[in-house]
Structure 1
């Protein structure tokens, strides 16, 4: 598990080169290129399905007939330690993906609400990471000097710090209440330096361009130059990094929940479900396979989509 998604490590030079190129051919528009790619369309479809499922979670579980916290003791065999009745982990018309061994809770309902938890944490962490990374990257790259030195030292410290150990220690010492907010905060603290480093490098390059010199000569303030002239030229970089960051943060949340320092029971979490399935894997493998498959496919879909987005906005970046 890594705090910095692979996408955050894309080179600033290649992104800067791609950002400076505006395709003249409408067929080369990034959105058109992505929609013409079957793999990207399949990833978008799966991501859209999971997002829709998470947004409409109360309605979805109402249709299925079971909530994420309801116990169905009739679906498990107490004489065998709570093993689900029937084949394939208790999959039936009543429980579409089976039930949890020992408790009888509906796996489908927990998958639906687990998707909501994972996406909310990942998207919130990505948003906070983007705000911090873009702000500090712009400040360091444009102002330079002591400002750049201070921000750069903080970035280097956070990037070199054993983030996973720190996150486990901090989250273990915190109360279980509002754990999702703590997850967002801790993940963002260690995530923003990777984006800030890219933004800093590109800002240092852009501030020497002719359009910035022209704005400066016309009397534009520093704020106007940074947010009106430079920031719009960083949209491609930010889009690529955001797309790559989401799967990393989904995996981070799942990993922390698996280790027992993320979301705590009874809050639904895919990582927590995978951790609970370890002791049941030999007798009820579906309890591990169902959340594991949903998690793996969602992370894979975001990563593949991120690669396609990067290829669309930066044609020279993937070979």
Structure 2
């Protein structure tokens, strides 16, 4: 059997029965979720902004080539050395040459660094979300389904990691590690402290699902543990996993920006929104746009992912999407 969002159990044909192959595809909730989104304006707007940022990150070299300035190029003519190297012109030097102005002191093009900064933020956030989701689902399923000693060990590890003040330990770990492959290190460190939260929820639901009659029926029909997990339990966890993963992304975007702001994230001159905001602090009084522009992009990206995750939660919780 499978469990619907209303709690009603539906008959599932025995494993090996031809009728079993006609049960609903595990991807069906995802298709219904997309259909529900079509009439949800906040979800559509949030998704639209996220798609634009993802495309900008993917095609950053082409976009920057059109703008005419790379993220590492210095335009000394765009800053005034007689006025402390602040940008020439209004609004931080915004012009036909520099669409978002230039960095004070260096003359680097802000638009190019925003586009490449989106690549860093999204790579870290999405990669960390994928890794934490995989780890959380695997360890949560193992702990909940196998129980006993396995459950005890995994649960103690989860409690141990959740008890740490994560940000402080992230700073300490990243400060002690070499600067090479900083994006990969950020993904690994964020994932290390992120997976227990999903694993705990998956474990709790697995403990409940494995006692249901449809699982007992599958066991009686000769299904293996792997078949039970992938055909009976995991499909009933899809909605929870989708919601948790979607809500995790904005947190990881903010974490990467915060770590870069504190100087332990990506290493200069690699562009990062958090790094740009930190660099803008001394210039805020004379060039507020240098702070406002990366701050606005970061705010909109986090808000879009948060709104999207909230709409997914509402749609799934309302029963519009059933597992």
TM above 0.5, yes or no, is yes
Residue 177 of structure 1: aligned partner: 180
- Higher RCO, 1 or 2 (CA under 8 Å, sep at least 6)? 1
In structure 1, runs of 5+ residues without a counterpart are 1-15
Name the SS of the counterpart of 1:90 in structure 2. coil
**CA distance in 2 between partners of 1:19 and 1:177 (Å):** 50
Kept after mapping to 1: 8 A contact 2:101/2:109: yes
- Return the match for 1:266 from 263, 269, 272: 269
Q: Provide the residue aligned with 1:84 in structure 2.
A: 87
Q: Deviations over 1:156-191 (max 9, x none)?
A: 111111111111011011111101111000000000
CA apart distance, 1:20? 4.8
1:277 is matched with: 280
Counterpart-to-counterpart distance in 1, 2:96 and 2:6: 52
Residues 228-282 of structure 1: CA deviation (Å, up to 9, x unaligned): 2211211111100111011100000000000000001000000000000000000
CA–CA separation in structure 2 for the residues paired with 1:158 and 1:314: 29
Report deviation, 1:18.
3.7
Shift of residue 32 of structure 1?
Answer: 2.5
Q: Please say which structure displays the higher CA radius of gyration.
A: 2
Deviation at 1:17, TM superposition (A): 7.7
- Matched residues in 2 for 1:182 and 1:302: separation? 23
2:123 paired with 1:99: no
- Does 2:165 align with 1:166? no
2:141 aligned counterpart, secondary structure = helix
> More displaced, 146-155 or 269-278?
146-155
Name the count of aligned residue pairs. 298
Q: CA deviation at 1:227?
A: 2.0
Q: What aligned pairs does 1:288-299 form with structure 2 within 5 A after superposition?
A: 288-299=291-302
Q: 2:221 aligns with which of 207, 218, 221?
A: 218
Is contact 2:6-2:319 (8 Å) kept?
no
The CA deviation at 1:215 is 1.0
Which of 54, 57, 67 aligns to 1:54? It is 57
In 2, are the aligned partners of 1:19 and 1:313 still within 8 Å (CA)?
no
Give 1:34 shift.
1.9
User: Does the Cα contact within 8 Å between 1:19 and 1:234 map onto a contact in 2?
Assistant: no
Q: Does 1:242 align with 2:245?
A: yes
> Counterpart in 2 of 1:142?
145
Give distance in 1, aligned partners of 2:186 and 2:32.
36
Once residues 235 and 21 of structure 1 are traced to their aligned partners in structure 2, the CA distance between those partners, rounded to angstroms, is 17
Per the TM alignment, residue 127 of structure 1 is displaced from its structure 2 partner at its CA by 0.7
2:44 equivalent in structure 1: 41
Alignment match of 1:132 (pick from 135, 140, 146): 135
CA distance in 1, matches of 2:281, 2:164: 30
Query: Contact conserved, 2:113 with 2:272, CA < 8 A, in 1?
Result: yes
| TM-superposition CA deviations, 1:181-238 (whole Å, max 9, x none) | 1100000000000000010011011111122111111111112211222112111111
1:21 Cα offset (Å): 7.1
**8 A contact 1:256–1:262 mirrored in 2:** yes
The counterpart of 1:153, out of the listed 140, 151, 156, is 156
- Distance in 2 between the 1:166 and 1:200 partners? 26
Which residue, 291, 300, 304 being the options, matches 1:301? 304
2:208 equivalent among 205, 208, 231: 205
The separation in 2 between residues aligned to 1:210 and 1:137, in whole angstroms, is 21
Q: Are the equivalent residues in 2 in contact too, given 1:113–1:269 (CA < 8 A)? A: yes
Unaligned runs of 5+ in 2: 10-28
User: Residues of 2 paired with 1:308 and 1:127: CA distance?
Assistant: 20
Summarize the Cα distance change of 1:21–1:273 in structure 2 as closer, same or farther, 3 Å threshold: farther
Check 1:313–1:263 CA distance in 2 against 1; reply closer, same or farther (3 A cut).
Answer: same
Q: In angstroms, what is the RMSD of aligned CA positions? A: 1.9
